[in-house]
Structures are given as structure tokens and as C-alpha cells.
Amino acid sequence: MKVCTVSGVQIHLNNMFLALLGLFFVAGLLVKGLIVFAIVLLHELAHVAAAMRLGINVSDIELLPFGGVCRIGGEIVLDPSREVLVAAAGPAANLLLAGLGTALKGHGLWDDQLNAFFIQCNLLLAAFNLLPALPLDGGRVFRAYLARRIGFKEATYKAARLGQFWGVAIVLLGTAGLLLHLSGLDILVVGGFLFYAATREKGLAPFHFIRHLTQKKQELVTAGVLPAEPLVSFDHVRLKDIITAFIPQRFHVVILLDKEWQYRGVVSETQIVDALFKDGINANIGDLLNNR
């Protein structure tokens, strides 16, 4: 559901977030629900501000039970350093808001239960979003860290699987808390949606990876020079196994050896990407030398 537009960015409420607000209303805690809404919105606007500062386009925001999702230009996932800065902006904003709430209380300007709830929500949202699990902010930082070491695709899978794990864990803990009358349905809603969102991120990994490969040429044209990443492979290895070793912001050069460990030649990343679309992922990398 569209709520409003801020600086050209459309803001939408996810149905699960509406359900969470409904739970607050049924429990007679609508004011607290609106505080949660405001905190989540400010969290996402911090992401938007950071993205715009870095020259990244933002189209809209979808508010979720545990935070939200900014529809940010897809190029950000191909630049780990910028993704880290944008991801960190949300939790940083919550910590600043918690500090503001503490300062207001210290000066006697806001000294009641709502102030304590405000501070608690900001700290919980910051801590929760720092978990190293997609689609949380900590998961995006974790993926950016892993992508430089094991490649973007595998890093996304690892971070998304952690998101699924935490989603299941929160649902189980929420169920136990519900049975023991220690927590409400809101914990189950958050856990269930985290699992769903992590599964969606995992499904998008191949799409982002293909964009990463096809955009590398443009990165080289724009930068003029990119650091090289040499790889060594046998000439019978399939292309799909080669590209899993590709990491962001590096231009890969593959040295080919035959079964006798003798040098056969060198293949560039550009040739590999072109062959992926022409010959498919199961083609042997050695065939690229034969096609010259």
C-alpha cells in the first residue's frame, strides 16, 4: 500500500507490516505501533540519504516488520564499498535516535514509558539489522566482505542461507515465547517474513551475478583501468565453474593448462562472458582458444 512520496521516493507499506500494526491496535497499543512505524521509516530514509549522497538512484521504499527494502539502483550490489556505506546508514540512524531519546530523557523533556519504548525499539532494530544475514543490513555488509574473497554469487547464497536460518530460529523462539506467554505474535511475523525475504534474495542471486558479469566491460571503460585477478585453470573446465571464482571490481585473466600441465594460452574475462551467452555455461574454456 502506497503511503506517501518523499523527495521523489515512493513509500509503501508491506501487508505484513500492516498486520503488525493491526496487532498493536488489537492490543490497545496503537501509539506504540505508530512509533515503530516512524522508527522503521527513519531507518529506511537514512539508507535513501546515503544512497543519494553516493549518486545512486532510489525509486521507492517498502516498509517491512523488521525494517524495510529500498529499491536502489542495481549497480550498488556490484560495488561492495558503496553497498557497505548504504547498509550501515540504517543502524547508524537508529543508534543516533536512541541517543537522542536518552538525551531528551536526561534533560527531563521526555520522561515516560513511551521514551523507554522509543529507545528500546531503536536499539533492537539496529541490533537485529546488524545480523550477518540477508536481506538485513548486516547481511549486505557480510556479503560485500565475502564477495571479495569467494565471488558475488556464492557470497549471496551464504548470506541468504543465514537469513533463512535466523528466520526459522526466530519463528521457533517466538513459538516458545507465545506458549510460555513471554511474547506475542509479532515475533512470529518478523521471523516468518525474514525467512521469506531471505529466500527471495537467494533467488535473485543469479540475476545479480549476470548483471555483475555484463557490467564489467562498462566498469573498465569508466575507470580506464581495473586491478587484475589472475586465475589458473585446466582447459577442460566448464565456464560455469570458472565464473564462480570471479570477484567484484577485478578484471580476471585465466591462464589455461592442458592435461599434461602444459601452457595453452590466456583467456580474458571479456571472452568468457561473451562465450557464456554464445555457447552456454557448459562450454569448455579451452574452446575459446580454438575459436580465435
Q: What pLDDT is recorded for position 72?
A: 65
Percent of the chain beyond pLDDT 90? 23
* Pairing of the two strands 9-13 and 2-6: antiparallel
Report how far residue 171's alpha carbon sits from residue 191's, in angstroms, rounded to the nearest whole number: 5
Q: What are phi and psi of 255, to 5 degrees?
A: -90, 125
pLDDT at 43 over 70: yes
Contact 84, 144 (CB under 8 A): yes
Mean pLDDT for 168-193 is 84
Q: What pLDDT is recorded for position 139?
A: 92
Please tell us whether the domain made up of 226-290 is placed in CATH 3.10.580.10: yes
- What separation in angstroms does the CA of 279 have from each of 240, 244, 285? 11, 17, 10
Q: Which position has the higher pLDDT, 270 or 27?
A: 270
Q: What pLDDT is recorded for position 75?
A: 56
Mean pLDDT for 57-73 is 68
Mean pLDDT for 113-129 is 91
At residue 74 the predicted structure's pLDDT band, cuts being 50, 70 and 90, is low
Q: Per the confidence metrics, is the pTM higher than 0.75?
A: no
Q: What pLDDT is recorded for position 290?
A: 76
pLDDT at 242 over 80: yes
Q: Spell out the alpha helix ranges (H) of 72-184.
A: 80-106, 113-129, 137-150, 152-179
Angle, to 10 degrees, between the axis of helix 185-223 and the axis of helix 269-279? 120
Q: Which position has the higher pLDDT, 148 or 86?
A: 86
Q: Where in the chain is the domain with CATH 3.10.580.10?
A: 226-290
**What is the 8-class DSSP label of residue 284?**
B
